[in-house]
A = this chain, B = another copy of it.
């Protein structure tokens, strides 16, 4: 007897759901919503007239039927994947794209989004190389760079990505504990967390100026060697971090951090730029990465807008 086959995508959803025993996590892995997974598994269950998961409350368990089927599917996915990889690599090696950027931007913005790129272009291998300080773009060691600045880096192709903002953030729990500061100058009495670098110090002078606060000397507060550590400290209720927008966007979105004094408009003329050697900007992989980066950056910019309103 012949049977009907569900779509491959549904089988992959089943495999992932069975592995995580959790639709939500399976959904994250496959870059879709929980709803999509639920629908697809329901589809298989109906097509084959078989219950695959036992739902006892919010706990998922594979049924006996599930235990019988999933290994077959998993095995197939593994074997096909490895066979296809073997066959493909006899041809040209998988394309690699080397990207250099700042550690903080990589950690708090690029890396969390890179999964989308891999998902969209599984054939392009992205290597990232980070540095603590901005270094000049070295075309020997990198195909692309992401720079923070004013643009105009000499003989490089460049393209603006994302405008930078600077604002203070703290955790919701910290707010409850210390009470919300009423005026920008109240910040000066709270534990301030920031990276120990000269460039960001200057940006904070600008912020206080834009907020109408005259300061003689920036309070030292607690200083961290890396932005990500300062942000993490803020999440852990340690104080108010003075942060760059791209570094805290996701944390603010998720409610781990709250933006203080959103009414203070302090937009620097500094922005993130994408750079590469002139003439290489339209090479297929570079163009793919550029296009994707710009879409992600536009998305982030939109989220900033919403955060302001």
Binding site for B on A (CB under 8 A): 1-9, 11-12, 48-50, 65, 68-69, 72-73, 75-77, 79-81, 83-88, 91, 94, 118-119, 122, 125
Contacts and interface: CB of A to CB of B under 8 A. Distances in A.
Contacts of A84: 3, 48, 50, 69
B68 A2 contact: no
Contacts of A5: 8-9, 12, 77, 80
A182 B175 CA distance: 105
Contact of A88 (B2, B48, B80): B48
Contact of A48 (B1, B8, B87): B87
A69 B83 contact: yes
Contacts of A8: 5-8, 11
Chain A residues touching B, majority SS: helix
Given A8-B8, A85-B1, A122-B2, A69 B65 contact: no
A2 B87 contact: no
A1 B94 contact: yes
A2 B118 CA distance: 9
A72 to B, nearest CB: 5
A72 B65 contact: no
A122 B3 contact: yes
Q: Please name the 5 residue pairs, one residue from A and one from B, whose CB atoms are nearest each other, closest first.
A: A76-B76, A5-B8, A72-B79, A8-B8, A65-B87
A3 B118 CA distance: 10
Nearest to A90: B65
A190 to B, nearest CB: 46
Contacts of A77: 5
B49 A88 contact: yes
B68 A73 contact: no
Contact of A4 (B1, B50, B122): B122
Nearest to A64: B87
A8 B8 CA distance: 5
A199 B85 CA distance: 68
